Amino acid sequence: MTERYSDEFNIPVLAGGASPLHGYRGDDDAPTPELPLGVTIAISREAGARGATIAKRAGEKLGWEVYSQDMLKYGAQSAPLRQDVLEKLPPGAIGWIDEQVQRLLEQPNLSHNPNIVDLARLVLALGAQGNVILLGRGAGFLLPRRSTLHVRLVAPLHDRIAYMSQWLRLTEEEAADQVRKRDHRRTDFLATHFHRKPNDVHFYDMILNTSMFGEDRSADLIAAAAKAKMSAIVGME
């Protein structure tokens, strides 16, 4: 298997790994590539743990696209957008996505809610290409563990409240209420549609205290872990 490497972190990228979401369809006579084409980073986070900023920084360091919670939510509700993503994937991707969706639906944990099935298809389509960062929406519970770096970002409550207060220009009491409500919504989403608890540490490959490491160092650690994950995959081929 041929490898190339990305940016300062020496992330191995499988041959043909140029982002298919930007138009790669593969040669008609080329063999069907093994999917996924690269690693996906799925980030779960506590409210106020600076997940969006850290995801963006990690994406910049790696040269990878970042899909926010809002982007994933919108994409799951937009059939034309999902179709556009699917049409730009390499040969064999549609069959692989169908197989993965069927695998998920056969498990007792995933909701059969049509919106969640559409979300699963979108997340799997993005995961098929790899070299992307997905923030929230339970992405780490939808993607295959072998090719996914599942990260949980946490921070002490008082730091999360302070950050939320500064970010949204709220009083400390208002910020504390925002943290509580956002944590509750995310916990309820996972419990309802995935039958998972976000604080179960065994679901994650990496748990980072972002108050201890800060935004930039947290992004460095995530990028380095992605390198290790891809190296492990390449070593098994």
Note the pLDDT tens digit of each residue in 106-136.
988 888 999 999 999 999 999 998 999 999 9
Q: Is 191 domain-assigned?
A: yes
Q: Is 4 domain-assigned?
A: no
80/78 Cα distance (integer angstroms) = 6
Q: Is 18 domain-assigned?
A: no
175/2 Cα distance (integer angstroms) = 50
Return the SS3 of 31: coil
Q: Which residue has the higher pLDDT, 93 or 23?
A: 93
136/51 Cα distance (integer angstroms) = 9
What is the number of residues in the chain?
237
**Model-wide pTM > 0.75:** yes
Q: Is 189 domain-assigned?
A: yes
Considering all CA atoms of the chain, what is the largest pairwise distance in Å, rounded to the nearest integer?
A: 62
Q: Is 152 domain-assigned?
A: yes
pLDDT at 237 exceeding the cut of 90: no
Residue 126 CA: distances (Å) to CA of 57, 133, 149:
19, 9, 14
Q: Is 13 domain-assigned?
A: no
Q: How confident is the model at residue 85 (pLDDT cuts 50, 70, 90)?
A: confident
Domain that holds residue 224: 36-236
Question: Of 27-31, 51-55, 171-175, 216-220, which range is least confident?
Answer: 27-31
Q: How confident is the model at residue 5 (pLDDT cuts 50, 70, 90)?
A: very low
Outline where 29-134 has alpha helix (H): 51-62, 69-77, 79-87, 93-105, 114-129
CATH code for the domain of 109: 3.40.50.300
Query: Can you give the pLDDT at residue 33?
Result: 61
Query: Can you give the pLDDT at residue 26?
Result: 42
Q: What is the mean pLDDT of residues 137-143?
A: 95
Where is 4: in which H helix or E strand?
Answer: strand 3-6
Query: Can you give the pLDDT at residue 23?
Result: 36
Residue 134 CA: distances (Å) to CA of 163, 169, 170, 201:
22, 27, 28, 19
Q: Is 48 domain-assigned?
A: yes
How many structural domains are present in the chain?
A: 1
Which sign does the torsion angle of CA 210, 211, 215, 220 carry?
negative
Q: Is 77 domain-assigned?
A: yes
Q: How confident is the model at residue 236 (pLDDT cuts 50, 70, 90)?
A: low
Angle, helices 79-87 vs 114-129, to 10°: value is 30
